[in-house]
Amino acid sequence: MTQRLTRDLIGRLPESVPDPGPIARGQVPEDHYPTIARKLFEAHRRTGATRFFAIGSLIWKPRPYFAGMEPARVHGWHRAFCLGPDTRYRGNPDAPGLMLSLDRGGSCKGMVIRLKDDVGEAELLDLVQSEPPPPPHPVTAHTANGPVAAWAFACPRDYAGYVSGLSDDEIADRLSCCVGMRGTMAEYVLNTIEHLEEAGIHDPMLWRMQALIAERLALRLTFPAAP
């Protein structure tokens, strides 16, 4: 399939919308992320090695405490736009976005990220705070050098933000117009495709989606920013 989504097409969208301000208190308990980071750090001290299986922005937004990454596959999970609604980061209340996560079933190719041996609890807190609330799930990632234990950010089907039952066209309708404080979902899709391809990973679902998004962007001249 030919890549149809381009940065010129994405340029028809606003680059971002204003930061809506602090997240309302009460949505996530104050100790939620620190508790997750503490448990991850305790596990790191026991094993001496911590890895995360990445499917999206962690691949193209590396952190200083990443030591390296390599292609891998996990079984029992697949990449899907199953998390939402995003009304802050790459979507807004007038055009809510959908985010990539891992959903049950099938298998998924991505990248295993190895954290530095001296990673601390503060770095782990930084990492988990950049992701949605569900705690990371333990997975086995199969690499060219054999299987390794890793953590993966997945979306449980009983999570309030779990989304299912949408067609590709319905997903593309949302992704082609949502813009948040960090940018657009169209750019997110393009960045993910480009970096996966660089690693020799081809995701048919994402390639279908980029074509559908490009088709919608080509039909409109501009997209108004959210008020």
Residue 200 is part of a domain; what is its CATH number? 3.10.490.10
Residue 82 lies in a domain: yes
- Percent of the chain having pLDDT more than 70? 95
Residue 98 lies in a domain: yes
Residue 195 lies in a domain: yes
Residue 199 binned pLDDT confidence (cut-offs 50, 70, 90): very high
pLDDT higher than threshold 90 for residue 148: yes
Give the count of alpha carbons within 13 A of 63, CB side only: 20
Q: How many domains does the chain have?
A: 1
Residue 66 binned pLDDT confidence (cut-offs 50, 70, 90): very high
pLDDT higher than threshold 90 for residue 23: no
CB atoms within 10 A of CB 2: 7
The pair of three-digit structure tokens given for residue 41, joined into one six-digit string: 């750090």
What confidence score (pLDDT) does residue 220 get?
Answer: 76
Contact in structure between 200 and 71 (CB atoms under 8 Å): yes
User: For 107-144, what is each residue's pLDDT tens digit?
Assistant: 999 999 999 999 999 999 999 999 999 999 999 999 99
Residue 85 lies in a domain: yes
3-class state of residue 169 by DSSP: helix
Range of the structural domain that residue 98 is part of: 29-218
The pair of three-digit structure tokens given for residue 190, joined into one six-digit string: 């393009």
- Model pTM greater than 0.75? yes
Q: In angstroms, rounded to a whole number, what is the distance separating the alpha carbons of residues 184 and 181?
A: 8
How many distinct helices (H) and strands (E) make up the chain?
A: 7, 7
Q: In angstroms, rounded to a whole number, what is the distance separating the alpha carbons of residues 11 and 185?
A: 12
Residue 115 lies in a domain: yes
pLDDT higher than threshold 50 for residue 226: no
Residue 120 lies in a domain: yes
Residue 6 lies in a domain: no
- Radius of gyration (Cα) for the chain, nearest Å? 18
Q: What is the mean pLDDT of the chain?
A: 94
CA 44, 33, 15, 173 torsion: positive or negative?
Answer: positive
Contact in structure between 178 and 97 (CB atoms under 8 Å): yes
pLDDT higher than threshold 50 for residue 227: no
pLDDT higher than threshold 70 for residue 225: no
Shortest CA distance to 53 belongs to which of 78, 34, 23, 85? 78
Residue 102 lies in a domain: yes
Full DSSP string of 146-160: EEEEEEE-B--TTST
At 68, phi and psi to the nearest 5?
165, 170
Q: In angstroms, rounded to a whole number, what is the distance separating the alpha carbons of residues 178 and 184?
A: 6
pLDDT higher than threshold 80 for residue 223: no
